[in-house]
Structure 1
């Protein structure tokens, strides 16, 4: 424990005050001693200075409840992580990604990093479906022209169909069939009746593929050439290089 016997563990809350689930947070605050640095204290230089001075004591955990705030100190890297007290064992952060945190260094310090891996899958996949539909049906033209003028809207109404397509029967390529990628593919397969192909560093189990009748393509370039529409559902290339380049875009089929 990070405190004396009989005292509650200290949790460092990074970010603004919570706006949702306030009753749960109130109970959380009863079970732990919650310390929340101010916005000024969360700026990188000041944040690191405070850690060096042990301003917030020997806290047991770090809690970032909302992804839009709490990241003011920047990346948690080899410069910042060693400043954490040895008492810190858990880092819990909202959001599905972990690209802003070096989890290898955290692991070396014995700190477990917990993200909200599935928390945003539903909402992100919904937005992806919106973009897929907008791409095939040229919705941006019609929706923006409706705000421009009656003449612009009439132009889209008359000619939009000639440059629009139904998603049905077209091939959707997914780069990264993780939680979010799979949910995008599942909805596109069930709602739009699209053919699903995917590229990933690891092939998914046959049972997982069967749920959406997905075809695994071991080459990204080959998958791009087979796809009518491509969704990028991974934060970065495994080797740290840019995943989508000018050359890669050139691999896509005409009309894709």
Structure 2
């Protein structure tokens, strides 16, 4: 039996590449050089499955018919880099990898909170530059998280996991906004209160953490007006998608002191990061490390493989986006 042809657009964990290479006629991106949109579009005509990542762009223009591909096995839970309507309109099934990156992404959100609150990035830069003059009572004082209020925008899996960590570790109160009801057992044991609007959360919270999908109505969800509501001592954390924040408005708010600081793992035009953000001391910037543990990235890859296996054996895919 002829093996199905599949394409991995980036380098994946070795264990996953080995599995896929055994089960499929797999083309691997061994140099890990990002593919152009045009190259991915051309691949749709040559492969039975294309497996993209968040670093790829799959706009409507590439789904113009005449393709061989039947499925997009997305490596990641977010899929705003894919024009889903165009892909499904062209007859492709799209899958993603929910659930397996919840803990690691929540850990990253807490990492950003701690680094920002305790000015850890500033401190490390000072020390590495050889500018530390020794301990002194008023040196680089930050703020403690205990007793502060955490505002969660998007109380799904990752939002809940972040809130649980913050409440258990620091005794933080939690306020949140979510489009749909959150089952009581999902927030049991936390001092968590649902608010009617995003604005209510921003005004009540000392730290705001974003956990919503990118694209669509969520593009620039955090605009200049909403950023101002966080306040001059407030902190904003983003481990979701870069386009959720109006990045230019954020830069302006940070420069003008309308917001205290920002901890960002994602950016609007990755991998581009504005020089103004990089130059600021009241920011903590990470290179999209949310799910970057060996265990999680392997789990993500195996979930893609499970989706492909189910699809090509004629079974329902475990994680359909469309």
1:34 aligned residue: 26
2:115 aligned residue: 134
In the TM superposition, residue 12 of structure 1 has moved relative to its aligned partner by 2.7
Cα distance in structure 1, aligned partners of 2:104 and 2:81 = 21
Say whether 1:173 aligns with 2:151.
yes
Change in CA separation of 1:152 and 1:219 when aligned onto 2, cut-off 3 Å: farther
Assess if the C-alpha contact under 8 Å between 1:63 and 1:91 holds in 2. yes
* Equivalent position to 1:225, from 196, 200, 203: 203
In the TM superposition, residue 101 of structure 1 has moved relative to its aligned partner by 0.5
How many residues of Structure 1 are paired with residues of Structure 2 in the alignment?
233
TM-score, with structure 1 as normaliser: 0.76
Q: What's the RMSD between the two structures over aligned residues? A: 2.9
Cα distance in structure 2, aligned partners of 1:41 and 1:220 = 36
TM-score, with structure 2 as normaliser: 0.62
Secondary structure of the 1:113 match is strand
The higher radius of gyration belongs to: 1
Secondary structure of the 1:159 match is coil
Cα distance in structure 2, aligned partners of 1:237 and 1:11 = 27
* Equivalent position to 1:81, from 56, 63, 68: 63
* Equivalent position to 1:97, from 69, 78, 93: 78
Alignment of 1:166-245 (within 5 A): 166-236=144-214, 239-245=217-223
What runs of 5+ residues in structure 1 fail to find an aligned partner?
A: 1-5
The one-character-per-residue Cα deviations of 1:167-214 (angstroms, maximum 9, x if unpaired) are: 111100011122222221111111111111111222312221225332
Say whether 1:145 aligns with 2:126.
yes
Change in CA separation of 1:211 and 1:81 when aligned onto 2, cut-off 3 Å: farther
Change in CA separation of 1:84 and 1:95 when aligned onto 2, cut-off 3 Å: farther
Cα distance in structure 1, aligned partners of 2:96 and 2:39 = 25
Assess if the C-alpha contact under 8 Å between 1:94 and 1:115 holds in 2. yes
In the TM superposition, residue 100 of structure 1 has moved relative to its aligned partner by 0.3
The one-character-per-residue Cα deviations of 1:48-72 (angstroms, maximum 9, x if unpaired) are: 4565xx4x2xx332224x656xx2x
Q: Which has the higher contact order (CA 8 A, sep 6+)?
A: 2
